[in-house]
Homo-oligomer: A and B are copies of this chain.
């Protein structure tokens, strides 16, 4: 029987690791992810200005004092709408500078672990580094438990049965598009609910699914909140909110 640390393995020089840290509970890191968090020369992560960084907070129990860490802070964009050309340009410039800083470390032979919430290739900002660096440096991506898996687990809600179809939809979609997609699926996960909560609720109701919809805020984190969407009167929620609608496929 192998020791967990032995199974997890080490980090190679000059390699970029995209480390999926899962939905929020440190126990939901994979063995490989936990091993790399401890093994890489440099631990890198992105955070909002003034915040600890969600991915960094998740792995805190695995990080010894004095580790070499690089914190990359998103440009403050409160005054700029997220879909404006100005914002897009600021964030692209931020990612360009970040990629250059990581490339410097990798060229110097350091192994760099970039933390990614959930799964790195599923809506992950890691992807913006991957597309800039993967042609020039060795990269290993470590898949993670997605935020949505964490949420349906904590909501005690098996999400898809038998031959159910599942639609993953951003709450940013126009209301009519949300209704159309919801009508054509058995199960659904609506992500990025945040400021779109009132619209999402109207769309779910219009699709005839309100009685089955569950609202989950910060799933698997300490301050998680789970309730029927029908009981959720607020007009908006936090960024880490999603709505889950389980399929009703074959029960055997």
**A residues neighboring B (CB under 8 Å):** 1-2, 4-5, 7-9, 20, 22-23, 25-32, 34-35, 38, 61-64, 88, 91-92, 95, 119-124, 127-128, 130-131, 134, 141-146, 149-150, 152-153, 156-170, 172-173, 180-181, 184-185, 192, 250-252
Number of copies of this chain that the complex holds = 2
User: Apart from A88-B252, A146-B146, what 7 extra A-B contacts exist at CB < 8 Å?
Assistant: A23-B143, A28-B32, A120-B158, A127-B158, A131-B251, A143-B152, A167-B185
Closest 5 CB pairs of A and B: A27-B32, A166-B168, A4-B4, A143-B149, A127-B158
Contact at A4–B31, with CB atoms within 8 Å?
yes
CB distance from A165 to the nearest CB of B (A): 5
Option from B31, B145, B180 in Cβ contact (under 8 Å) with A26? B31
Residue of B with least CB distance to A32: B27
What is the bound-complex CA distance between A97 and B119, given in angstroms? 36
Contact at A165–B167, with CB atoms within 8 Å?
yes
Contact at B4–A160, with CB atoms within 8 Å?
no
Contact at A165–B160, with CB atoms within 8 Å?
no
Contact at B170–A167, with CB atoms within 8 Å?
no
- Chain B residues in 8 Å Cβ range of A91: 252
Residue of A34, A92, A156, A162 with most chain B CB atoms under a 10 A cut-off? A34
Contact at B128–A252, with CB atoms within 8 Å?
yes
Contact at B27–A30, with CB atoms within 8 Å?
yes
Contact at B38–A26, with CB atoms within 8 Å?
no
- Chain B residues in 8 Å Cβ range of A156: 134, 141
